[in-house]
Structure 1
């Protein structure tokens, strides 16, 4: 499985003042530490560093299952995360909301569950082994914010 965050094109556009999913410019703020996970590098924005707060919809088209929510992004350029190891932003909470989606970007009913951190990789692998699952989104179990996406290798 491969974990990834926002595309670099989306991150670059937001940093340049382009509109977020609500058609607004991102808010600028200063990170207070580990509670501000960047959705591009999938690390926490360091305490005191500049960050952006914006609305994100990780889907190609508007449709009933295209959830929208707030995310954080490093204000300065950061390297995109794409790898098979569990990214740092998925190691600091006791659990996460994990959901499988089909090729039409629709939730596959019965796949959504709050999953303990230690079981995330196993559960995602089980979902990605299914023919009806195209990708898996991982969200905050507390605030429902999109954290990252997992796909097949």
Structure 2
């Protein structure tokens, strides 16, 4: 499986717009917040941008927009793209499986410790092109997973 953070061009635009409108807030810090740029949790004193994001997998009526945090300045990105990011996987998660044409194939909630099996199960279905991992409590996009 391959793990996808928010694309660099989206992050660049969000950082450029940080603090300029109601959709791009600049925060001095928000410790322990899940970061969608590097797929880890924020530390104390790290400036962040909070912005609206719609992953590309859901299109048309299936497009979902939600709030996400990222570093206010460019970072190195995820440590790897071949393993689920442990820092964002410890809680109950909402999964949404999408087809190649951007329609929801299925969805559900997985318990802590069951994320890898839940994602792998949907990726075994040839109709599924991408699985989005979201916060179960807020519905916010965390990261996407596709086949290698």
TM-score for both structures, normalised by structure 1: 0.87
Q: How far apart are the structure 1 equivalents of 2:28 and 2:71?
A: 10
Give the corresponding residue for 1:118.
Answer: 113
Q: How far apart are the structure 2 equivalents of 1:16 and 1:28?
A: 11
Compare 77-86 and 135-144 and name the one that shifted more. 77-86
TM-score for both structures, normalised by structure 2: 0.89
Give the corresponding residue for 1:98.
Answer: 95
Q: How far apart are the structure 2 equivalents of 1:9 and 1:24?
A: 20
Pick from 118, 135, 144 the counterpart of residue 139 of structure 2. 144
Q: How far apart are the structure 2 equivalents of 1:77 and 1:8?
A: 9
1:3-14 maps to which residues of 2 (within 5 A)?
3-14=3-14
Q: How far apart are the structure 1 equivalents of 2:97 and 2:55?
A: 13
Q: How far apart are the structure 2 equivalents of 1:57 and 1:6?
A: 10
Q: Contact 1:135–1:150 at 8 Å: present in 2 too? A: yes
Q: Contact 2:59–2:103 at 8 Å: present in 1 too? A: no
Give ranges in structure 2 of 5+ residues lacking alignment: none
Give the corresponding residue for 1:54.
Answer: 51
Q: How far apart are the structure 1 equivalents of 2:23 and 2:108?
A: 32
Tell me the C-alpha RMSD between the 2 structures.
Answer: 1.9
Instruction: Give CA deviations for 1:26-48 in whole Å, capped at 9, x if unaligned.
Output: 100122311x1111111112122
**How many residues are aligned here?**
145
Deviation at 1:90, TM superposition (A): 2.1
Q: Contact 1:55–1:69 at 8 Å: present in 2 too? A: yes
Deviation at 1:61, TM superposition (A): 7.6
- The answer on 1:129 being equivalent to 2:129 is no
Give the corresponding residue for 2:16.
Answer: 16
SS state of the match for residue 97, structure 1?
strand
